[in-house]
Structure 1
Amino acid sequence: MRKRPTVADLRALKGKKQLTMLRIFTVEEAAAAEEAGIDVASVPPSLIRHPDFRQAAPGIFAMTGVDHREMGSREDYLRLSCEMLMKGADAMYCSASLETVSYLAREHIPIVGHVGLVPSRATWTGGFKAVGKTAEQALALLRECQAYEDAGAFAVEIEVVPEEVASEISRRMKKLLLWSMGAGAGCDVQYLFAMDILGEHKDHMPRHSKVYRNFAAEYDRLQRERVAAFAEFKADVDEGRFPEERYLVKMDPGELAKFKAAL
């Protein structure tokens, strides 16, 4: 069993190697990520609460959290954070204000922020498109990362940002780790969704995602097999082929005679 990294371990690797990160949703994906040697995972709270999660993924550094719009007060954030850490999470994602980040960090909660294309705040940056393509935007991203570091976050997801910008920012961060989703190889972690890697859906595929398997085609095949099996069952019933003798329970003839006599 491999050793699960700590925040200190991840910081010690800054600038030395890139790590891998997946967004996963099931125990099966957690077990596969563990066996594949994935370093970091973004995990929904429901999976952290699953009794089999840590048995399936003992060596993965697990970040969890929710969209800040689902939370109430900072105290609610703190309660959720404490619960998640007690159940096996290693860090909390926080898309709320820097004041909330600072509040949680002062309580020694390992916090991961979010810069660039942040889905919950995309309206402020023009929607679902790249951020940081102008010098002004790039400098604003640098200042935002510095502010996260000053607030006590140990990492940020940096999403859909030009690789040159992300690389320059990463080099200038003393301790803040940059976890790249579509922001190039100059960061500390490369982050993709498991569902994109596995090709599980037929929707628009993000430009930064690479498909390694075609699970959608396999799901289509399984659905056709499901329909065929159900149709065969119905035909067997309609035509008297089911249930066959081997699927039935028989009564002892003597007991059957007594039953009929009693009737």
Structure 2
Amino acid sequence: MTIPELRQYKGGKKLVVVTAYDALFARIIEQAGIDVLLVGDSLGVVVQGQANTLGVSMDEMFYHTRLVAEAAQRALVIGDMPFMSYQASREDAIRNAGRLVQAGAHAVKLEGGSTIIDQVDAITQIGIPVVGHLGMTPQSVHRYGGYRVQGKAEEDAEVLVNDAKVLEAAGAVAVVLEAIPAMLAKRITEQVSMPTIGIGAGPHCDGQVLVLYDLLGLFDEFVPKFVKPYAHLKADALQALRRYKEEVEQSKFPSDSESYH
């Protein structure tokens, strides 16, 4: 998968994106034929156990991006730029986007619209593809007062439509639309020529993304309305661990077949 191939998903075959944080899952996701691996700063919540994504560092994103990129053989790899890795200046944005590319990312993702256009322009000018992120942007969780649907009011919807157009004009190759009304996502999708990738944005986007641990049913501490678990691996893991504990305590494991002679 390349950036030109990514662009071809506009208005045609749906683009399938899943988050990945390590080599093992990156390989499994690729074996399933997934198009794009997003190394998301969501790792702050589902991997590190933090309340939000704000504490994720650039060094941590570099590390996880390198793990995924080295394992990926076919999928496009997008690296999330964490909080305060790009907001302060064009120079920060260029330097940190470059680090993710050095780690193996093919593109970087930034949250925000018109307020970060200078940074998007700076990154694209040096040849690094940028994916935008609009709607419910987790790095702005305190401003929203929690994880809330955005763009319900018409004036807010207009801002998001304009932000999508501005991002495209600045060179963004795609945009993630998170937690916005389905008809607003349809409106944005129809008004930009870059692919839109929905997460809680309804069925009209050019593609969809879900957090890996959510779709596998591993993370159930907070399950948004837009998440559909396609497995229940937490329950399976608990059952396996309890059986292991029981067999060790009852001297059933290891048995003769698990012992060397």
TM score, norm. by length of structure 2: 0.80
- Equivalent in 164, 169, 172 of residue 145 of structure 1: 164
Q: 2:228 maps to what in 1?
A: 210
* Local SS of the residue matching 2:239: helix
Alpha-carbon distance in 2 for matches of 1:118, 1:129: 10
Does residue 21 (structure 1) correspond to residue 36 (structure 2)? The answer is no
Q: Highest Rg: 1 or 2?
A: 1
Structure 2 unaligned residues grouped into runs of 5+: 40-60, 254-258
- Equivalent in 63, 85, 94 of residue 78 of structure 2: 63
1:226-259 C-alpha deviation (Å, 9 max, x unpaired): 43355457x99xxxxxxxxx989xxxxxxxxxxx
Q: 2:201 maps to what in 1?
A: 183
1:110-160 C-alpha deviation (Å, 9 max, x unpaired): 011110000111334453111111221211110111111122211111001
More RCO (CA 8 Å, sep 6+): 2
Distance 1:70 1:229, change over 3 A: farther
Give 1:66 shift. 2.8
Q: 2:188 maps to what in 1?
A: 169
Supply the AA of the counterpart residue of 1:91: A
Structure 1 unaligned residues grouped into runs of 5+: 237-245, 249-263
1:1-263 equivalent positions in 2, closer than 5 A: 5-43=1-39, 44-50=61-67, 53-54=68-69, 56-70=71-85, 73-95=89-111, 97-174=116-193, 176-228=194-246, 231=249
Alpha-carbon distance in 1 for matches of 2:248, 2:90: 51
Q: Does the Cα contact within 8 Å between 1:34 and 1:56 map onto a contact in 2?
A: no
Q: Does the Cα contact within 8 Å between 2:15 and 2:206 map onto a contact in 1?
A: yes
Supply the AA of the counterpart residue of 1:170: T
Alpha-carbon distance in 2 for matches of 1:118, 1:6: 26
> C-alpha root-mean-square deviation of aligned residues, in Å?
2.4
Worse-superposed segment, 88-97 or 220-229: 220-229
Distance 1:76 1:135, change over 3 A: closer
Distance 1:247 1:166, change over 3 A: closer
Alpha-carbon distance in 1 for matches of 2:4, 2:220: 39
1:44-87 C-alpha deviation (Å, 9 max, x unpaired): 5323323xx45642111110023232556433332332233234
Supply the AA of the counterpart residue of 1:45: F
1:6-28 C-alpha deviation (Å, 9 max, x unpaired): 21111122111211100111212
Give 1:165 shift. 0.7
Supply the AA of the counterpart residue of 1:12: Q
Supply the AA of the counterpart residue of 1:92: V
Runs of 4+ aligned residues of structure 1 deviating over 4 Å after TM superposition are 70-73
Q: Does the Cα contact within 8 Å between 2:79 and 2:108 map onto a contact in 1?
A: yes
TM score, norm. by length of structure 1: 0.79
* Local SS of the residue matching 2:84: helix
Supply the AA of the counterpart residue of 1:95: E
The alignment covers a number of residue pairs equal to 231
* Local SS of the residue matching 1:49: helix
Alpha-carbon distance in 1 for matches of 2:93, 2:63: 16
Alpha-carbon distance in 1 for matches of 2:250, 2:181: 54
Q: Does the Cα contact within 8 Å between 2:18 and 2:212 map onto a contact in 1?
A: yes
Alpha-carbon distance in 2 for matches of 1:108, 1:211: 37
* Local SS of the residue matching 1:203: coil
Worse-superposed segment, 78-87 or 142-151: 78-87
Supply the AA of the counterpart residue of 1:68: F
Alpha-carbon distance in 1 for matches of 2:99, 2:30: 23
